[in-house]
Chains A and B, each alone.
Chain A
Amino acid sequence: MRQISMRDAINEALHLEMARDPRVIVLGEDVSGGAGGTSGQRDAAGGVFGVTKGLLPKFGEDRVIDTPISESAIIGAANGAALAGLRPVAELMFADFLGVCFDQVFNQAAKFRYMFGGKTSCPIVIRAATGAGMNMGAQHSQSMYAMVTGVPGLKVVVPSNAYDAKGLMLTAIRDDDPVIFFEHKALYPRKSAVPEGDYTLPFGEANLVREGEHVTVVAIGRMVSFAEKALDALAADGITADLLDPRTLSPLDDETIYESLDNTGHLVIIDESPPRCSVAADIAGLVSSNAFHSLKAPIVQLTPPHTPVPFARELERAYVPGPQSIEAAIRKMLKESRAAS
């Protein structure tokens, strides 16, 4: 099968769904680009990461809407358009910009259905580039998904590869609830096998990336590929793992984690966001409450330290969990567990 990048996979999903459903619109800063420029060229950007390239020439200015840099207005307009019957896909550019529109996300979109007694829905998708690794500094590199995962009414998607990203995006646009879709910047150019046509992946079903017997590894987003590298290295020593990619953090497929733990008894969670009140901490809490007796060792949460994302290459490398630190964490855990038993 052909291999395409996550950028192209999401782009393809947007093309497919805009062609299929005339209610779908795309709006955000530079989603096309070039409006008001001196060259006269439209689609001059196609999103700062090129994910929305080609949509404007195909679907026109009514449905592919370049906006000013006004995040509250972008997300608020997506909300209002959704209440009025459209299915907007709003681009936030960087997930860090949730800070300038959070009211429209957590007070408005997330709560309409409940506050209004179930008589309406808010089918929006908020696309946001996430994650560290590109030396973009503390305000363009964060992994903010715990903040929205904690809000009832929102769904949260963090794809780890191109195939999943396309299927999850098609599900997200067709879903009647507000969805925050985090796209890791470092994964945009990464290729994987992606079918050409229409396919969807369900929310709330973790992907068992590989099966093993000694440890359960839960990895989120970019951390999945790092965990695979670590597990490749560990395989030489006969250490194998169930590698679980939750794919959606809300809803979260916690049952699959418990089932895996029933076999392995060891849990390592790898999360790119800071440790406090994180998704790692949330999963650890759920496991402690619901699968405590499966555990043969303390849960390991491998996260960055409790600091902002640093800028310098050396500091950022030290900040983000990588294949080596994952491998070391798993070895240490299993060694200590053996020593204790």
Chain B
Amino acid sequence: MSLPRDLLLRVYRQMKTIREFEERLHVEIQTGEIPGFTHLYSGQEAVAVGVCEHLSDQDWIASTHRGHGHCIAKGCDVEGMMLEIYGRRDGLCKGKGGSMHIADMTKGMLGANAIVGGGPPIAVGAGIACKIAKRGNVSVALGGDGSANQGTVFEAMNLAVVLRAPVIFVFENNGYSEHTGASYAVGSGDIAGRAHGFGMPAETCDGSDFFAVYDAMAKLLKTARAGGGPATLEAKTTRFFGHFEGDPMLYRAKDEVARHREQMDCLRIFRDRVGKEGWLQSAELDAIDTEVMALIDSSVAKSRAAVPPSAADLLTDVYVSY
């Protein structure tokens, strides 16, 4: 069944924005202008967008160190994000957070989180708030296959089941926890299966296929929004870059990334599908590409020219009241 045209166009624009944001960062990082270290999301766009397309600003997500895609998909301002990653005063977090701490409560974005397993307990708390408010809102905990081995995540999953909190635990299995394969580190190899052990429904889907993620999420959300408690989604995906920028990826076969770009590129898969079905025309997608490139270009240009925080900014925002 076809989805509405405006939805499909929005989905493509979001996925393309994430892709170009990350591919451009990969290039700009080489200049040395961007401080710190950065974890890129290229390759996983269909997961962030397939999940967040179902969510409003009143629904919450808790993100990870690899959070740029989640932020964009949840509606965070792209230019504000770029400024933040450059460490600028006008960044989304005034240059005090950086790549791993982008947040925007007005968009229901509880924050990227540099602690693996830090986000899911927080997502459950937001889910408790949704449950109390009784407006059918939900909270989504995003994590990688690495987070599927953290005890805090299991605590969060059990608590959500006990309280019937409307929380979806999304595990993006990109095959690697930093430099270690999921086939080694995930004992059972079956992350979704672990959710069954907590007594919640779980689905596994192809994370390279937007439609697969979107449909699986729709099914799980239906129960959660109706008060049926939490659920889990494991999306099998891949990342096109290393764990962090500068990672030489010695743990991956030499041709693996090239092969995945060829076979698992969610943007290409999406374009092929909407073209084949006749839902969208190539020309309108190309037009989006042009607009996205212009947005990324201007965001980078503004970020380069923007002023850093001042020394006085160091001491503010520690407390609300001192």
Residues of A within 8 A of B (CB): 25, 27, 62-63, 65, 67-68, 70-86, 88, 103-104, 107-108, 112-121, 152-153, 155, 175-177, 251
Contacts and interface: CB of A to CB of B under 8 A. Distances in A.
Given A73-B156, A114-B317, A84 B125 contact: yes
B122 A152 contact: no
Given A70-B155, A117-B96, A86 B129 contact: yes
B129 A65 contact: no
B96 A108 contact: no
B101 A81 contact: no
Given A68-B159, A119-B93, A103 B128 contact: no
Interface residues of B, number: 48
Contacts of A153: 318-319
Contacts, number: 157
A93 B318 CA distance: 27
B92 interface: yes
B131 interface: yes
A117 B97 contact: yes
A85 B129 contact: yes
Nearest to A120: B105
What 3 pairs across the A-B complex have the smallest Cβ distances? A76-B121, A80-B125, A118-B317
B125 A115 contact: no
24 contacts: A70-B159, A74-B159, A75-B121, A77-B122, A77-B124, A79-B125, A81-B126, A81-B128, A83-B122, A84-B125, A84-B126, A88-B125, A103-B115, A103-B118, A107-B114, A108-B115, A113-B317, A113-B318, A113-B320, A114-B317, A116-B103, A119-B104, A121-B320, A176-B321
Contacts of B132: 25, 62-63, 86
Given A84-B139, A117-B317, A155-B319, 12 more contacts: A80-B60, A80-B62, A80-B110, A80-B123, A86-B129, A86-B132, A88-B125, A114-B317, A115-B101, A117-B92, A119-B105, A176-B321
Interface string B289-300: 000000000000
Interface in B78-119: 91-97, 101, 103-105, 110-111, 113-115, 118
Contacts of B96: 114-118
Contacts of B258: none
Contacts of B321: 175-177
- The dominant DSSP class at the A interface is mixed
Most buried by B among A62, A63, A73: A73
A110 to B, nearest CB: 9
A62 B131 contact: yes
Contacts of B316: 118
Contacts of A116: 93, 96-97, 101, 103, 105, 111
Interface of B: 60, 62, 91-97, 101, 103-105, 110-111, 113-115, 118, 120-132, 139, 151-152, 155-156, 158-159, 162-163, 316-322
Contact of A80 (B101, B124, B155, B162): B124
Contacts of A104: 118, 121-122, 152
Contacts of B115: 103, 107-108
B83 to A, nearest CB: 11
Contacts of B101: 115-116
A65 B322 CA distance: 31
B126 A76 contact: no
A341 B110 CA distance: 61
A115 B118 contact: no
A71 B96 CA distance: 28
A113 B316 CA distance: 10
Given A77-B121, A82-B125, A115 B105 contact: no
A79 B121 contact: yes
Contacts of A62: 131-132
A79 B122 contact: yes
Nearest to A80: B125
Given A83-B105, A84-B129, A72 B317 contact: no
Contact of A113 (B110, B113, B114, B319): B319
Nearest to B110: A83
Contacts of B94: 117-118
Contacts of B127: 80
Nearest to B129: A84
Nearest to A36: B162
Contacts of B118: 76, 103-104, 107-108
Contacts of A73: 121, 124, 152, 155-156, 158-159
Contacts of B97: 115-117
B155 A117 contact: no
Contacts of B91: 117
Contact of A77 (B92, B95, B159, B317): B159
